[in-house]
Structure 1
Amino acid sequence: MELQDYLRVFRQRWLSIVVFAVGGLLVAGAYTFLQTPQYEARTQLFVSVGGSNSAADAVQGSSFADARLSSYVTLATSPTVLEAVINELGLDKSVTELAGSVTASSPPETVLINITASNPDPQLAADISVTAANKLVKAVENVEDVDLVQLSVFEEAAVPDEPVSPRVPLNLALGILFGALIGIGTAILREVLDTRVRSEDDVRRITDAGILGSFALESDLNKAPLVTQRDPYSPRAESFRQLRTHLHFTNIEGGPQSVVFTSSIPGEGKSTSAINLAIMLAESGSRVLLVDADLRRPRVASYLGLENVVGLTSVLSHQVDLDDAIQSWGPGAALDVLTAGKFAPNPSELLGSPNMEKLVKAMEQRYEVVIIDAPPLLPVTDPAVLGSITSGIILVVSADGMVNRDELSRSMENIEAVNARLLGLVLNRLPVTRGNYSYYDYKPEASPTSRRSKGKRDLSGMRHL
């Protein structure tokens, strides 16, 4: 993954990262709340050298004290000293338990020993520290020559005012940090494991085929799937006009063009894409025929409100002529439509028959553009067969996670297997992001005369207020 991929993951999954960060904060808060506050008290001892008659004796005594410091530090937490502390203070603890709350250390380049005790009771922490220091002094006096080296209490422990743990700000900050890191890791892992097509970048990983059109995800699309049911200057309508323009550029050789619309799996929007493109082509004045070749699940007739008694199956089985099966639709009957017709038990045989190839050639002789709505590529072989006898295929890809990359890759392989020409892709249901084309429209403004008239009415209304 590149840097832009990581940034895209953060933009898409920022909410889950925030949830993990808040979860880390809550866990850290609960952990901090359940912890018992601990207080620390420190007593400092000074190791001094006995009297000397010369500088050489002083240096020798100092070296001796330095060499003994580590031994004194170890002795401070020995069972002998700690047991004496327990007896002195009457503690209800074992030597092992007390050893876990008493530490001794010596700062580098010094002859000092720090004895630190921790306890939930601040007063008891100070008492343990002071008592342990005094017991260490006595223990050293019993085993050392006091004329040569002496230990003395330099600073007694004071009763601490505030606990040293839990560290509330630090714990909460670490909770947020680790929660966010887990959230980021989870988001990246999901991105790596997620093989669903959710963007143009995901499609580019599979193929470098040209993208003829892109359509944003719209929540009310199922209620009004046709461009004629919406504002004629809506972003969706303009996108289909762009698709119409791009389709013309795929017709390199010129002449009539027959185009198969298909998808990898059902539900990606191939039928509505084919219908809307046919409507836009008819709007531009082209002679267009829309054919419903999805004989298993025909949709064209229901979308356009046409009869489906006679259609493609009737023509292929020689029950009726092509002219008798074609219906006209739209203002001025500009769009000709050949519906699927009655259900056929052998759709693959019909679409792969020589009759179908002859029919496509006949339709190309009569129309400038023939738009064929075919079944999905993966469930059946019909669209691949149709693609081999037409000008090419337009593959509709849903970018809302419906199809995965493996399915898209297999669709591309099916098209290549029959030597069909892939004219390009149509990306459907793209997520709407800031800067996306769907944020803009360029509707025609009212004429200056209309604006002045409207202004007069508004002003007139204001005078009567």
Structure 2
Amino acid sequence: MSATPDLRFEPERERDSVAYAFGVLRRRWLVVVLAIVACLAAGVVITGVDSKDRYESTSRVLFGTSALSDAALQVDRFSQDPEREAATNVLLAGSEAVAGDVRRRLGLSTSVEDLLNKVEVEAEQNANVLKITATDENPRRAATLANAFASEFVAFRARADRQSIDTAEQDLQQQLAALPLDAPERQDVRDALQRLASSRALANGDAKVIARAEVPTAPSSLGLAEVLALAGIIGLALGLVGALVVESMDKRIGDVASFEREYRLRALAVVPQKTFRRQGVRSNSGDLEPFRILRTAVDFARVTRPVRTVMVTSAVRGEGKTSVAIGLAQAIALSGRPVILVELNLRHPSLARAFGLSDHGGVTSALLGSEPNDLLHRPLRELPDLEVLAAGVLPPNPAELLEAPALDVMLRNLLQDGKKTLVIDAAPLLPVADAQILLNKPAVDASVVVARQGVTTRDHARRARLVLDGHAAAPIGLVVTGHAARDVYGYGYGEIWQPEAAVEEPTASTQAAPRPAPTAPNGQPPAGRPRSRSRLSWLR
């Protein structure tokens, strides 16, 4: 039986919103911080390794796209692709031949490879201009290198022009010698030789330096402050991406609204994480407030249907269902109504240890024929209306034992006076069939599902919802445990009282006494019978 549909349980549309991004940042802030710290550390290391200032100086060279020999011969053998011409000149200016000329000109002992590593050549966009940038630790040497590369590039092109003119002259002289003396073509060849001779005087490689490099006054390398600022920005970007990746990979549910959407149930109460860590001496502690709210929700459910037996379960183990069952039973007892806390988790029981009861004479004994009302214990003197029936000896076949008619008889006997409420601590829904068997029992009127933040996954919640939809006992709602907020309800809490396992094994007289122990006139326990206090630190 499924709960009534609610618009709040529609599929989540939050992922495209700014609120979702801020939620991810709030949950995954550590990923962002670690990324920023890592980038800042890398920036400090890089700055420390390369701490010397570097200076850049730039010269510019204008280049043409034709050779003088071709102009003299009135032919065009060059490509009409300007990008290709620019790329060719970039490679030429940064070639080993030009670097070798610079090395010889300046008398440097630096290798050609190291020299080229200090120079960067690139073509200006939409212009036949080369930008030659030299980088060096000495600002004057940086300007000298940039100017030397520019000059040697122009000189290299001029030599290439002269060589092409010489080659063209040789070809024309050979053609002229091969022609007859009276051939009319001899005059054309002589004219071409005349033009080549005129062009030789103008051979400059069709390139010239249009801007000489000047000595820089400030270093071009980033200082420590600039490196750290850049590293911080990069770290922030990487951290945000990492946070989104981690969030998408983490299937655990981290907020109450997501629990409600996945389970399609209303959250009846939210139990703070600190509730399971405190210890105290007052049964009216504020840490019981979530369970009082849960008790009120159960009372409201009685308006539309009879609810005498409430089963507390969860999707998987470790979500806090036993703690919630104990808290709910205490809250009902505090209202003055009789309540029985029954442990039907026959695989991993914990109530006997929690209340200091014997492992004998529990549910398993009742299912084997003992009178269940004779096996009840009142472990808390402050709460005489609270009775506990622990699991007892673990059976080899818990699922078959729970499915037997003896369980229905036991539950009817516990409810025979018509005044008591049963709170059942059941096994989880998904790992075993025990809880699913109980959901179909006629005596089980409703269920409460417990889910823990940071433990329950979306897959757990969806599978548990499918299980609940296929059984008779409709869930009243959801209890979310492990909430990390400092103050869920807006005011401070005191301490929660919880029993501790007895240091010694209970005596036979203790096991056989289901009625409250005698108290002194002042309401305190008699001497020699100390009460145990402990943290509610276990979650089942």
SS in 2 for 1:331: coil
Give the TM-score of the pair, scaled to structure 2: 0.67
Q: Residue 131 of structure 1: which of 148, 151, 154 is its match?
A: 148
Find the aligned partners of 1:139 and 1:349 in 2 and give their Cα distance: 97
Q: Tell me what 2:506 maps to.
A: none
**Distance 1:253-1:160 versus aligned 2 partners, 3 A rule:** closer
Is 1:212 the equivalent of 2:262?
no
AA paired with 2:376? I
CA contact (8 A) 1:294 1:340 kept: yes
CA contact (8 A) 1:259 1:371 kept: yes
Is 1:398 the equivalent of 2:452?
yes
AA paired with 1:127? T
**Distance 1:358-1:215 versus aligned 2 partners, 3 A rule:** same
CA contact (8 A) 2:313 2:447 kept: yes
Find the aligned partners of 1:12 and 1:126 in 2 and give their Cα distance: 53
**Distance 1:85-1:308 versus aligned 2 partners, 3 A rule:** closer
Give the TM-score of the pair, scaled to structure 1: 0.76
CA contact (8 A) 1:388 1:421 kept: no
Alpha-carbon deviation of 1:78? 6.2
Find the aligned partners of 1:194 and 1:175 in 2 and give their Cα distance: 27
AA paired with 1:295? L
Residue correspondence of structure 1 range 182-193 to structure 2 within 5 A: 182-193=238-249
AA paired with 1:38? R
Q: Tell me what 1:173 maps to.
A: 229
CA contact (8 A) 2:263 2:461 kept: no
SS in 2 for 1:291: strand
Q: Tell me what 1:413 maps to.
A: 466
Q: Tell me what 2:101 maps to.
A: 84
Find the aligned partners of 1:106 and 1:372 in 2 and give their Cα distance: 81
Find the aligned partners of 1:405 and 1:169 in 2 and give their Cα distance: 45
Find the aligned partners of 1:15 and 1:42 in 2 and give their Cα distance: 45
Work out the percentage of aligned pairs sharing the same amino acid: 29
CA contact (8 A) 1:20 1:182 kept: yes
**Distance 1:37-1:252 versus aligned 2 partners, 3 A rule:** same
Structure 2: which 5+ residue stretches go unaligned? Answer: 1-14, 64-84, 162-198, 495-540
Q: Residue 35 of structure 2: which of 11, 17, 20 is its match?
A: 20
Residue correspondence of structure 1 range 345-384 to structure 2 within 5 A: 345-366=396-417, 367-384=419-436
CA contact (8 A) 2:53 2:219 kept: yes
SS in 2 for 1:40: strand
CA contact (8 A) 1:212 1:247 kept: no
Is 1:290 the equivalent of 2:341?
yes
Find the aligned partners of 1:73 and 1:314 in 2 and give their Cα distance: 94
SS in 2 for 1:195: coil
**Distance 1:410-1:135 versus aligned 2 partners, 3 A rule:** closer
**Stretch deviating more after TM superposition (373-382 or 106-115):** 106-115
Q: Tell me what 1:163 maps to.
A: 219
Find the aligned partners of 2:126 and 2:399 in 1 and give their Cα distance: 92
Alpha-carbon deviation of 1:145? 7.3
Alpha-carbon deviation of 1:261? 1.2
Aligned-residue CA RMSD in angstroms?
3.6
AA paired with 2:262? I
Deviations 1:225-272 (A, max 9, x none): xxx7446242x2111111110111122445451011122223322122
Q: Residue 309 of structure 2: which of 252, 258, 264 is its match?
A: 258
The number of residues matched between the two structures is 415
Is 1:199 the equivalent of 2:255?
yes
Find the aligned partners of 2:235 and 2:341 in 1 and give their Cα distance: 55
**Stretch deviating more after TM superposition (172-181 or 299-308):** 299-308
CA contact (8 A) 1:256 1:365 kept: no
AA paired with 1:377? L
Residue correspondence of structure 1 range 35-114 to structure 2 within 5 A: 35=50, 37-43=53-59, 81-93=98-110, 98-102=115-119
Find the aligned partners of 1:377 and 1:106 in 2 and give their Cα distance: 71
AA paired with 2:449? L
CA contact (8 A) 2:315 2:429 kept: yes
Alpha-carbon deviation of 1:424? 1.5
**Stretch deviating more after TM superposition (239-248 or 356-365):** 356-365
Alpha-carbon deviation of 1:336? 2.5
**Distance 1:396-1:146 versus aligned 2 partners, 3 A rule:** same
SS in 2 for 1:189: helix
Find the aligned partners of 2:89 and 2:452 in 1 and give their Cα distance: 76
Q: Tell me what 1:30 maps to.
A: 45
Is 1:2 the equivalent of 2:16?
yes
SS in 2 for 1:333: coil
Is 1:327 the equivalent of 2:344?
no
